[in-house]
Chain A
Amino acid sequence: MTLEDLYRMLRSGHVQAKGVVDNLDLPLVVLDQDLRVTAANPAFLDAFGVERDDTIGQRLFALGDGQWDIPELRLLLADVVPKAAAVIDYKVTHDFPGIGRRTMLVGARRMAPPGGHGRDMLVTFEDVTERGRLEAEKDVLLAETHHRMRNLLAVVRALAVQTRAAGRTGEEYRDALLDRLEALARAQDASLAGGTAADLADVVRSALEPIGAERARIEPGPAVQLATAQVMPLGLILHELVTNALKHGALSVPGGAVRVNWRVTLREDGARRLLLHWREQGGPPVEPPAKRGFGTRLIEFSAGADLGGEAKLCFESEGLHAEISVPLT
């Protein structure tokens, strides 16, 4: 930069320009034709953890033990910029000593003072490492949300298909479907409310609430913390047992009741297992169903697939007896 250039710059508001540059968040340096740093703003010094005195007058590629001596950048400044006049957002990923691996968008522009044939270059560095990471995370999240939405729709579809329509009025079908959706939502709420775990007693109480305490005899049992993933399936299994009892089982007649209790067994290898019993009493004479209905299949499959355990349904003379066995963590 000649004296005349400097004079022009000063006259045309250099001080103001300097104030702007100093306050820019964007790291920025000015290089002369030998790629020596003639100016660096505080944002640059901050971002790369360097001192002004160690920076000004140095060749860019010699700065900070050569941390900027990146072949891509060398090519960009030495070759591309002189020909192209400006380069915007050239992406450079590099391991910088002290600040680690960063991805920078480098912008370089020749500064041509009016009338001059300036070889000075303004180089800006925008750290987009974090932005890239956030965008990648957002993409994963979006894909996952999309996937779960599709899955949820498929679940609702499956519920609609599997809720019996034959021999029912439209209203009856709708109520039965809404009932199941309600149970699904309740179980989902219960699984979210607990955060990482939920208390078994709460899940049982919530599922048996529609019956009323008079007929749902929940016996006190040991405290059992369920994993989040276990809450919803167990809630739905209990809902199916309740629905079945109200329609065909003990709860379909006055005086019928259901007794629920549980215990935890400890195996020799330390594995704990929950054993939950559902016993119906005082209902109509029991006969095993001729055909396995949706409720039965749901209870059996879900106990295995969702809970990693098993469900046994015994149609005893006194009433249905279901035993649900679930491994605990």
Chain B
Amino acid sequence: MTSLTARTAVTPARSLGSRLRHHGRRLAVLLGLPAVLAALWWIVSERAGNFFFPPLSEILAEFGPTWFDGRLGHDLLPSLGRLAAGYALALLLGVALGVLIGTRPALRAFAEPVLEFFRAIPPPVMVPILMLFLGIGTTMKVVVIVSGAVWPVLLNTVEGVRGIDGLLHDTARVYRLRPLTRLRTVVLRGASPGIVTGARQALSIAIVLMVISEMFAANNGLGFSIVQFQRGFALPEMWTGIILLGLVGLLLSLIFRAVERAVLAWYRGQRQAQRGGSR
């Protein structure tokens, strides 16, 4: 990352021509391999005539009619809504409980083995159990996402809170920071690298659970549609669903990275300073 910023910092001094060439090269490096792979997929699938791997041209032609005639609102949006609700709840619950447990050493020792056990349960096996209590509605799907995504947030928050320098706590006490101020500026700030790590793991678990809960039982959603297509042997449509799901995953990880960069800007600066100035 540092080398990247260093490189862009140098460019303004150069002439326009070399700058264009420089950006052109970077663009070629960025898009070169994906273009080659897409072209390969296009050509090979066109020739292969394999039922399971329909021509890419056919998949792309099918994309619009499959998704933009109502499915986007009927299937994708409900999926994303449940994901957002479940993920937000998991973050809230994980951070709140994590701070509570992390700031009390005795409570932490008391709860940790049980929490480790819950984290170790493969999240999808909670679906059959939660279906017993909640049926197959939206509530079940949101709770499934929470039940899987909350553990990495919780445990990483606990770790993050534990790792805060004791000197900071003492300083906060000396300055008589009020409890809320201390929570915001010392505890949450200090634990934020841990919280972000947990949130990243939780995001990929949440996406998996969004899909899985819809594959079990649903009448709409991304996972539901993909399985419907597969059971109906609608191969090109199924592939558009797989591609759409991939794009959703990609988009969410890009958003996550942007948020992470904003939240942890102070941390990167600090790390760099500790390693001996700007590199």
A joins B in a complex? no
**A interface with B by C-beta (< 8 Å):** none
Q: Write the residues of chain B forming the contact surface with A, with a CB cutoff of 8 angstroms.
A: none
